Structure 1
Amino acid sequence: MHSSFLSTYLLTSSFVFLAASIPTRSCKAIPGDPDWPLDAAWANLNKTVSGRLIRPVPPGAVCHRDQSFTPYDAGKCSAVQAAWTDWNFHTADLVSTGKPNWSNDTCLPFEGYPCDAAGYPTYVINATTTAHVQAGILFANTYNLRLVIHSTGHDLLGRSNAPNSLSVNTHHLKTLTVHDSFTPRECDPSNQHPAVTLGAGSQMAGVYSALAEHNLTIVGGTGETVSLGGYISGGGYGVLTPWLGLAVDQVLEVEVALPNGLVVVGNACQNQDLLWAARGGGGSTFGVLLSATVKSYPSPEIVSVSFIAVASSPYSPSTASLVAYLLSQFPYFASHNMSGALFGGPNQTVFTANPASAFSLGLDLMDSQDEGRVRDIFRPVEDHVRRQFPEFFVSVSTTASPSWIEYYQTHKDNTGAGRDELITSRLIGGKALTADTGALQHAVDVLVEKGDLIIGTLVGGVGLFNADGAATSVQPGWRTAILHLITTKTWPPLNQTALDIVKTDIEEMTIPLRALAPDTGAYINEASALDPDWRRLYWGDNYKRLLEIKRTIDPTDVFWCPLCVGNERWQEINGRVCPVDCRK
């Protein structure tokens, strides 16, 4: 542990929150408990946060007559139903997660489903300032409340939503400052880099648009509504990762509100352990990320080749063979300094009116407008597919984008929201994709048989491999990965039988992925929530140090979530969080 962080933390924490030195051994308070804050305490908190304390209304409540949150409204209900699969709707809502299974499907906007608040926080602070965030942390600290941090609800592990909790919503922390040359505070002025400081609630589409005015961009995701806070804390990858590295490789400085309410800066020259933990250690764990300063880059030219393969019917017998072949070519694509992704499945309607086995593969070259070059690189793969998979209709096209913003507007992620979904995934190195074709084929066979959607992203390249992996806390498997492979599984809401089948399928798909790449783990923001060895899966050998930092920064576990660093001392039973040795 770096002494600079320890001295700063221990010197100041005692007078900010004296009780922090006394471990709390009682359950987190829930409504109805004697120690739940009185109305007067909530009113005082509301005054402190300038009237931004809210009793949240479940996003589907307007569609239900038998609830007390808000009047039934047929017109508003129709609008909510129409927007339910749109991430913009969910990210604008104070409590919606976009994947309603993480609110236990407690208030869907459809006839025949119940509506109550059991899956949502009791109160939300709609924070617009650092002081609002601090007030929420200190209130939860003082009254022993479960505290969750929510920005956009792009969370596949259920960390940003919880019943009987106080939620601090950072969605509106959207500051943006461009630096021609940035020096981290207290660092040598010779250590400078063009950079941008972004508030934790800043969303990708808005950031890209604002930076385009300066002919700049950053390493970010392709989802329009994904926000910086959760993206950075999980590691963050995107189209530019093979060339420039992960999002956390770009972080020069973070500003964090700690569990005692203090706001501190972490960079290479102060609070280094906090910086390391923030660069991949997971959200809702060490504090609230308020802002991050990340490297910016001149907007690149990008040239792309797009390949689409569609069979005449769903579940074509050779679908798995086609997918395995395409994935086996990712090391070849990486050798040509490409970025790209495979997307599709055995029963898709994305490319055709009727369900069919259908896949798209897009590949990109940065700092080029040579369409002939990408076409030539891809031609051997195209020729092989046409020869070996004649039942697939194949089309190939190329495009040249003169700037990042023009590329992004064409290639942004349009995956929908509003469905119950679980995933499994794996980071896979080049050797696993080429040396043991039988293991790869077996893994893909199971994914095609059991999964709904397969997404394979080319992440490996000089930017990822040459970055200082020790400077970040992400799963070390990132530093040898070529492919990030995901499969998803959905089910009808409130259908326990279907959910049980999904859980079984997820495990059956995970087993061959684990065998194919036993040591590389997964990307925390897009990983299985069911793996019993999730600590190693998410962080590998970095977990030990992350836990040490957690215990120093947050000795009483002000921040706690089920799949987060340091969760060992608590358990969640029927919506109540209690110490593991407590029988209350």
Structure 2
Amino acid sequence: MKATVVNIVGGALLLAHGIAASGVDTTSFGSPSPPSKPHGKWVSKKWQGTNYACKCFPGDSCWPSTRDWQTFNNTVGGTLHVNTPPAAACYNTFTGPLGNINAYNAAQCANITTNFPDEQFQIDLPTAGLWSYFTNDTCRPTTNPSGSCTLGYYPVLYITAKTVGHIQAGINFARDNNLRLVVRNTGHDFLGRSVGWGALVINTHSFQDISLSNTWEGAGAYSGPTITVGAGVQAINALKRLHSVNPPRIMVTGECATVGIAGGLPQGGGHGPWTNREGFLADTALEFKVVTADGELRTANEKTNSDLFWALRGGGPASFAVIVSATYKTFDDLASTGINLEINPSHTTNSTLLWEAITIFHGYSTHFVDNGLYVYYEVLGPLLRVHPIVGIGKTTAQLQAIVKPLFDDLNALGVRYDTNTKTYTTFYDLYLDLFEPETAGQSALTGGWTIAKQDALSNHTAIIEAFKTIIASGGIMVGHMWNAGHGLPQKEWSKSAINPRFRNVVDKLITVLPVSGSASLAEKAASQKTLTYVMDEALRTASPNGAAYVNEADPFQPNWQTAFWGTNYPALLKARQKWDPNGVFYAVSTPGTEAWEQIEYGTRLCKKL
């Protein structure tokens, strides 16, 4: 693909670039002015009556020079690349901030169109966000090659980091040149944190090392078996490795097999089917190797940098450091049983009857959790889909005895349904069979809230009315019934930064509001208002003792500090001010970002003055 020279920002800067298979032709990349710019410059902007100091972006006088980029590319071993959107090959021309590219390639376009919904395909791309809303959907797969393809909110450049030194160099370069920095492992994120307008990305997905140990001899009282994983390791690969030992082992992971387990997942908390037994993934963490905002490689555990260790365990993704590797507790895998339940239009088209069934089902949330079960379910339109109800360590008879009251009530209601029960030698086998793969490439806003146990018991009618409000607003609900304090000793709760309210919930809901990829700014604003102040507000009102999970919730909700972290927020803010005082790292609505905003319609990252 051949680049043409383009004039950016009213003649302030001419940029050109060429793209080859090896990456960046740095001889023509960056500012043409030879001297390096002074480090630490800010760009002054005024937006909607407020003054801001902004990070440096293409077209700004403080954007690094050609010489700077050349030096940096040498430092990272030639792993610096110019970014293009995944679907650029479907268009005649890709119009990017560094030039116009003749992009069309029929074979590549066919490949991306076929695989765009596939999570693993998108994960293996260097800068893709699995859910496309926060890329601005400006370059989706198309059959019209004459259409417009721009970079949207995808990053400008990325490093395929292969060593700790590459991560350190990327952090140092972004910090010293005041660039927006994005850290991406799998892109497995609902809130757009893996992408960012004008950003430099450090991609850590190549860190794939996995090692097991029978004994932990590091900090803390624990002395049992462990797993240590590199930043790029996904849940399924860690579980495969643990399953291969005799007897098989297991760890806490998300319900989705493709999620990375050593980055944003533990920094957000990390819930999954084992949460009811062992807490969050963050609760099982023993040690992290990280690179902090000053570019230093550090160890964080209960004894060394203990405040950083505490903050990394659920205190917010992309907030305190870049995780290079993580060590977790592992557990004996157990025989497990799963039950699926579905009520769909083939069973009834009577919406009143369906909602009565949903009310009955959700009325057992406390019963399920108190009996150690994990339940994953979806409510969308005229459908209740429970896939699956999981009894870890339970026989078929034991699980069926726990859920029998639910089925008795559904039978008494007279509603038809499909159901099946399976028992497996290990939870790992259940995980592979009953948990279904998710899809990528969707354009939607994501919110969510948890249902506190006390509210489920005293205010269940209002909770169901909130569910109805979500569906009536065009939304979808994905529920996860667990309690992160059920199987975890209370003395362990305060050792992580996770909101204490998660120790007394019975259901964590994700709310999803689909948004057209071609939606206007006004339509997007209206959708955000619906999510925040209609759908999620109904849940917050119905369960005032609930909380929000930072990896799967609305970042623009009111009082997000309390919603995400409760009484832990002041200590997290203090840790952020210590470990990243200048805002090298950024993720929306995380500790210390109160003054930060993406102005000019979600583009420039700036700090209010």
- Same topology, TM > 0.5: yes
1:433 matched to 2:456? The reply is yes
Query: Which residue pairs with 1:345 in the alignment?
Result: 380
- Separation in structure 1 between the aligned mates of residue 306 and residue 436 of structure 2, nearest angstrom: 34
The CA distance in 2 between the partners of 1:70 and 1:546, in whole Å, is 47
Q: CA deviation at 1:62?
A: 0.5
More helix by share: 1
Aligned pair partner of 2:399 in 374, 384, 406: 374
Q: Distance in 2 between the 1:200 and 1:451 partners?
A: 37
Report what 2:17 is aligned to. none
Does the Cα contact within 8 Å between 1:254 and 1:293 map onto a contact in 2? yes
Deviation at 1:39, TM superposition (A): 1.4
Q: How far 1:566 sits from its partner (Å)?
A: 0.9
2:116 to 76, 84, 88: 84
Which residue number corresponds to residue 93 of structure 1? 125
Give how far 1:533 is off: 1.9
3-state SS of paired residue (2:344) = strand
CA distance in structure 1 between the partners assigned to 2:362 and 2:543 by the alignment: 14
Q: Which SS does the other structure have where 2:501 is aligned?
A: helix
Q: Secondary structure at the match of 2:487?
A: helix
In structure 2, relative to structure 1, the CA distance for the partners of 1:486 and 1:172 (3 Å cut) is same
Cα–Cα, structure 1 residues 70 and 247, in superposed 2: closer, same or farther, change >3 Å? farther
CA contact (8 A) 1:311 1:393 kept: no
Deviates more, 1:304-313 or 1:262-271: 304-313
Deviation sequence 1:36-91 (CA, Å, 0-9, x none)? 11112111111111111111121010100122446311222122111111111211
2:512 counterpart residue number? 488
For residue 178 of structure 1, the aligned residue among 190, 208, 212 is: 212
Amino acid at match of 2:136: N
Structure 2 partner of 1:393: 416
Identify which of 595, 601, 609 aligns with 1:569. 595
Question: Which letter maps to 1:254?
Answer: F
Of residues 259, 278, 294 in structure 2, which corresponds to 1:260? 294
Q: What's the counterpart of residue 336 of structure 1?
A: 371
**Contact map agreement 1:91 1:153 (CA 8 A) in 2:** yes
Gaps of 5+ in 2: 1-37, 45-51, 95-99
Whether the 8 Å contact between 2:270 and 2:280 is mirrored in structure 1 is yes
- 1:241 and 1:549 map into 2 onto residues whose CA distance is 26
Unaligned segments of structure 1, at least 5 residues: 1-17, 348-356
Q: Secondary structure at the match of 1:524?
A: coil
- Of 570-579 and 140-149, deviating more is 570-579
Contact kept in structure 1, 2:392 and 2:427, CA below 8 Å: no
Instruction: Specify the SS of the correspondent of 1:418.
Output: coil
Q: Decide whether the 8 Å contact of 1:492 with 1:498 is kept in 2.
A: no
CA distance in 2, matches of 1:131, 1:63: 36
Question: CA separation in 2, counterparts of 1:168 and 1:467?
Answer: 37
Q: Give the superposition deviation at 1:386.
A: 2.1
Q: TM-score, length-normalised on structure 1?
A: 0.89
The Cα of 1:431 is off from its aligned counterpart by 2.1
Instruction: Output the CA distance in 1 between the equivalents of 2:107 and 2:39.
Output: 50
Aligned equivalents of 1:243, 1:364: Cα separation in 2:
12
Residues 101, 493 of structure 1: 8 Å contact kept? yes
State the SS of the aligned residue for 1:311: coil
Aligned letter for 2:385? F
1:5 equivalent in structure 2: none
Residues 1:26 and 1:111: Cα distance change in structure 2 (over 3 Å) = same
Structure 2 counterpart of 1:474, from 498, 502, 527: 498
Residue 339 of structure 2: aligned partner: 305
1:457 to 463, 480, 493: 480
**How many angstroms apart in 2 are the aligned matches of 1:424 and 1:72?**
36
The alignment status of 1:321 with 2:356, answered yes or no, reads: yes
Following superposition, the deviation at residue 500 of structure 1 comes to 4.1
Whole-Å Cα distance in 2 between the matches of residues 529 and 63 of structure 1?
Answer: 33
Relative to structure 2, which stretch is displaced further, 48-57 or 497-506?
497-506
What secondary structure sits across from 2:214 in the alignment? strand
Q: Is the Cα–Cα contact under 8 Å of residues 571 and 579 in structure 1 kept in the other structure?
A: yes
Distance 1:315 1:282 in 2: 43
Conserved 8 A contact 1:320-1:448: no
The reply to whether residue 403 of structure 1 matches residue 431 of structure 2 is: no
Q: Distance in 2 between matches of 1:406 and 1:533?
A: 41
1:129 lines up with 2:152 in the alignment? no
Q: How far apart are 1:102 and its partner, in Å?
A: 1.0
Instruction: Give per-residue Cα distances to partners, 1:138-185, cap 9 Å, x unaligned.
Output: 01111111111111111122222111111111111121110110122x
Change (3 A) 1:75 1:314: farther
Q: Shift of residue 205 of structure 1?
A: 1.1
Q: Over residues 546-584 of structure 1, what are the superposed CA-to-partner deviations in whole Å (9 max), with x where a residue is unaligned?
A: 111111111211112332211123332222223311xxx
User: Could you list the per-position Cα deviations for residues 365-411 of structure 1 after superposition, in whole angstroms to 9, with x for gaps in the alignment?
Assistant: 2223x2122222212211211221x3x43122211110132111112
- Partners of 2:160 and 2:58 lie apart in 1 by 20
Distance in 1 between residues matched to 2:189 and 2:350, nearest whole Å: 30
Does the alignment pair 1:194 with 2:225?
yes
- In 2, Cα distance between the equivalents of 1:298 and 1:251? 17
Shift of 1:329: 0.3
Offset of 1:327 from its aligned partner?
1.2
**Correspondence list, 1:273-292, <5 A:** 273-292=307-326
- Note the C-alpha offset of 1:498: 4.6
The Cα shift of 1:332 comes to 1.1
Q: Pairwise mapping of residues 27-176 of structure 1 onto structure 2 (< 5 A)?
A: 27-67=54-94, 68-69=100-101, 71-111=103-143, 114-176=148-210
CA contact (8 A) 2:126 2:203 kept: yes
CA distance in 1, matches of 2:489, 2:471: 30
Query: In 1, Cα distance between the equivalents of 2:257 and 2:236?
Result: 5
Shift of 1:209: 1.0
CA distance in 2, matches of 1:173, 1:124: 16
Distance 1:314 1:537 in 2: 37
> How far did 1:129 drift?
1.3
Return the alpha-carbon distance in structure 1 between the equivalents of residues 131 and 430 of structure 2.
28
Indicate conservation of the 8 Å contact 2:455/2:544, yes or no: no
- Tell me which of 549, 574, 578 is aligned to 1:548: 574
2:232 is aligned with what amino acid? G
Change (3 A) 1:297 1:283: same
Shift of 1:467: 6.0
- Structure 1 residue 270: Cα displacement: 1.2
SS in structure 2 at match of 1:197:
strand
**Shift of residue 27 of structure 1?**
2.5
How big is each residue's C-alpha offset from its partner over 1:319-374, in whole Å with a ceiling of 9 and x where there is no partner?
33322221110111123221222223224xxxxxxxxx342252222223x21222
Quote the residue 1:580 is aligned against.
608
Other-structure match for 2:27: none
Identify which of 438, 442, 456 aligns with 2:465.
442
Match of 1:364 among 390, 394, 397: 390
Instruction: Please tell me whether the aligned partners of residues 267 and 315 of structure 2 are also in contact (alpha carbons under 8 angstroms).
Output: yes
| Alpha-carbon distance between aligned partners in 1 of 2:66 and 2:180, rounded to the nearest angstrom | 17
Q: Are the counterparts in 1 of residues 375 and 386 from structure 2 also a CA contact under 8 Å?
A: no
Q: Deviations over 1:424-482 (max 9, x none)?
A: 21111222112223212221221232244222211126225646221111222111111
Partners of 1:325 and 1:331 lie apart in 2 by: 12
Match of 1:235 among 254, 269, 281: 269
Paired with 1:569 and 1:444, the residues of 2 have a C-alpha distance of 34
RMSD across aligned positions (CA): 2.2
Matched residues in 2 for 1:311 and 1:317: separation? 13
CA distance in 1, matches of 2:593, 2:105: 41
For the Cα contact (< 8 Å) 2:360–2:409, is it kept in 1? no
**Of 219, 241, 246, the match for 1:210:** 241
Q: Give the fraction of aligned pairs with identical amino acids, expressed as a percent.
A: 27
What TM-score results when the alignment is normalised by the length of structure 2?
Answer: 0.86
